[in-house]
Amino acid sequence: MRKRVVITGLGAISPLGLNVEDTWSALIAGKSGAAPITQFDASENKTTFAAEVKGFDANAVFGRRDARRMDRYVQFALATSLQAVKDAGLVVTDENRDRIGVLIGTGIAGIGTLLKQAEVMAKRGPSRVSPFLVPMMLADSGPGQVAIKLGVRGPNMSVVTACATGSNSIGEAAEMIKYGRADVMIAGGGEASIVKLAMAGMNTIGALSARNDEPEKASRPFDKDRDGFVMGEGAGVLVLESLEHAQARGANILAELSGYGTSDDAYHISAPAEGGEGAALCMQLALDDAGLTVDDIGYINAHGTSTTLNDKGETAAIKSVFGEKAYQIPVSSTKSMTGHLLGASGALEAVFCTKALHDGIVPPTINYDTSDPECDLDYVPNKAREVKFKHALSNSFGFGGHNATLIISSYEE
């Protein structure tokens, strides 16, 4: 028999804040995290801005010795996991440590470390390459560091499904709990890909906005004048538990992870399938998993990247699944404010859905100025909206045709 999975803790580090509350407050206020890049000289790049995490001091959080042995992505993932565990009031003991696992994914992992050490080798030779290069650049170093810090010995791994990673990580972690492989999973995603090479690569395929004169207005999902996404960074982490485990320890239950769907377009390595067929399948699978119908969904957190093909395809997919009901559901893209955190985006957006359910506030899609005939849903333009609802659906789609959908619901006994 499947166990119910509940959310008991949240953590976030984003371009809008270094914790959940600061991030959420900025989000519902409609603030943008985009600004000129400070991490490297971007003057040669076509796009010179991004949504960077601001004010994060890894030395203060971990100490200089440990911080310098972790890629920036791992620093984000570990710090955010510690926030979520604290929020959940979860205490690790010798009795429960084998039943607590970690599943934190990333899209590009330690690309910053890899590039820095490649430069060291080019300038100073192979013998000067850091002995920490390999563990720092690996995708699974995030969950590995969380396990070491907390002393948890349950299932531990990293999922990589491009920009669907964060949602797939949470969904797969929930599956482990449903079928008894763990009682608790620390799940989410982290990313730190604002580096010159990654930005250049995204530019050459036409994925990034080039509104260098107005960074804060560059991410404009579903707007007719959208010209690409804004690169972001950070992490989002949830503590998931079986309902029985959460109740037994008297945890504060924030919401329920009620549905999960995943699919692939089987169409193109970087472009979404025409008409959003794979995305539609994914959403329907999540609804079926949750035992819900289209009439039950009160909010959709869209993947909404601000690219021409994605926004059009996702809109078509939503209409395919929800029919006429699609026009009655608030749909917003929080990437308009956070930028696109790649492998961390779905996890951060799961945090937002949980907060939206709890507070009864749907975040806006900012920079929505000009309607697009092919994107004709209610995108909650420019201002947050008070909406009481019981079920939120969150979409994440990635290169390779990967699709993941989560349904987060109000907890009811």
Give just the sign of the alpha carbon dihedral 189, 193, 198, 202: positive
Structure tokens at 254: 């924030």
Active site annotation includes 340: yes
Catalytic residue among 245, 303, 391, 402: 303
Structure tokens at 102: 């970690």
- Reported as half-sphere exposure (CB side, CA atoms, 13 A), residue 168 has a value of 25
Structure tokens at 140: 């699974």
Active site annotation includes 353: no
Q: How far apart are CA 236 and CA 191, in angstroms?
A: 10
| Residue reference for tokens 């959403």 | 283
Region of 347 please: left (phi>0), alpha (psi -120 to 50) or beta.
alpha
* Triad 134, 139, 144: Cα angle to 5°: 85
Are 44 and 53 in contact by the 8 Å Cβ rule? The answer is no
Identify the DSSP state of 327: G
Choose among 150, 11, 142: nearest CA to 88: 11
Q: How far apart are CA 111 and CA 75, in angstroms?
A: 14
Catalytic residue among 245, 340, 391, 402: 340
Decide: residue 413, CB within 10 A, 0-12 exposed, 13-18 middle, 19+ buried: exposed
* Triad 311, 317, 323: Cα angle to 5°: 125
Q: Report the DSSP beta bridge partners of residue 411.
A: none
Q: How far apart are CA 230 and CA 44, in angstroms?
A: 17
Q: How far apart are CA 25 and CA 9, in angstroms?
A: 18
Catalytic residue among 163, 282, 353, 375: 163
- Which residues, 6 or more positions from 222, have their beta carbon under 8 angstroms from its beta carbon? 302, 304, 311, 315, 333, 365, 368, 372, 375, 377, 379
Catalytic residues: 163, 303, 340
